[in-house]
Structure 1
């Protein structure tokens, strides 16, 4: 059952990422880096998800002074495939030209990213390296997910600007609210998943 929630979370997360990319209003700084790399060098956005994940696994290993968490690459590969598939489906399914439609597309995508990330992270199975880095920074700074996520997004924003990634109003909104949304969704989603996954406690009296 827990692996089922893991897959549901990944599906929602990758759909959300694809929605923000297709909105043309700007993506998260991390996704903007991936799109910038795909545009300037080649390969797909999902392929760069995996390549950058490899680099982050090394970074995370250095920060926590432990062996590389190779399982995180499994999630990155699944996520990369999901992003490419959703981008293919959405590009052939719907074309949005009005700003209002783009805004709705982006808002839905941002919410899906928050819900999807919170869902799959709570399963404690091989977090994507960038999400693992968020958890590491939360522990290092002794704060919360909002602070860790904002620090990461600020760093990747600089990289995205250098690569000419899709930076826009959506990017600013992501930097400001993605961490807050993740912090907001984690507790209720954790309770909901635990209610389904964990067996009820029965009294022995």
Structure 2
């Protein structure tokens, strides 16, 4: 059996794993909808997305394309720091995240602008919940992940700092750059709220979506996994 065939059977060699892959894709798509809702709420996006949104406003480029460029650059940076090959398998979630974000924001939502304060915060809350659900679900699946979390793990190992300290410093730097590029429509009170609460919300949904991970541990899946042992 060829290596490519082994990889296929390892990841998609059963109905359970196809279901797992579908839930993985759903997680990415629903998290993109959550980010699109944060953008149109105009009360602030998560620090990690503020730079791309700021650049989008400055240069009139769709934010999804900028996220794709930024994530691909981060894949190369991660590889350089680790001294390993770039994880090009991460291109799947990267491209899907950028494309679906553009679809939600510019086609479905038509880049809507909300001016009523209570509606802004209502949309913001829904967006945060969708992001938490989507990210928590897609992280449960054994498929490639978007490289931001991998980058912070590398920095944590290289600097010997706690994960919390690394994340806070990283997000503070991104929020500052996002504010410089895009102003208060990009970084606002919503940015502070996501910095504090998005992580716990992701953790909550990560815990209750454990069934996604367990799909790959069925008896039929275990038989197919044995070809890689």
TM-score for the superposition, normalised by structure 2: 0.76
Q: Does 1:176 align with 2:196?
A: yes
How many Å separate the matches in 1 of 2:199 and 2:151?
13
Report deviation, 1:126.
1.5
Task: Determine if contact 2:29/2:96 at 8 Å carries over to the other structure.
Answer: no
How many Å separate the matches in 1 of 2:178 and 2:161?
27
- Gapped regions of structure 2 (runs ≥ 5): 1-18, 221-229
What is the number of residues matched between the two proteins? 198
How many Å separate the matches in 2 of 1:118 and 1:97?
30
C-alpha change, 1:95 and 1:39, in structure 2 (3 Å) is: closer
How many Å separate the matches in 1 of 2:207 and 2:29?
20
Task: Determine if contact 1:72/1:127 at 8 Å carries over to the other structure.
Answer: yes
How many Å separate the matches in 1 of 2:135 and 2:168?
15
Report deviation, 1:107.
0.8
* Pairwise CA RMSD: 2.4
Q: From the CA coordinates, give the structure whose radius of gyration is larger.
A: 2
Q: Does 1:41 align with 2:64?
A: no
Task: Determine if contact 1:149/1:178 at 8 Å carries over to the other structure.
Answer: no
Q: Indicate the residue corresponding to 1:158 in structure 2.
A: 176
How many Å separate the matches in 2 of 1:97 and 1:193?
38
Partner residue of 2:149 out of 131, 135, 150: 131
Q: Indicate the residue corresponding to 1:82 in structure 2.
A: 100
> 1:70-106: per-residue Cα shift (whole Å, max 9, x none)?
12122111111110110021237x6533211111111
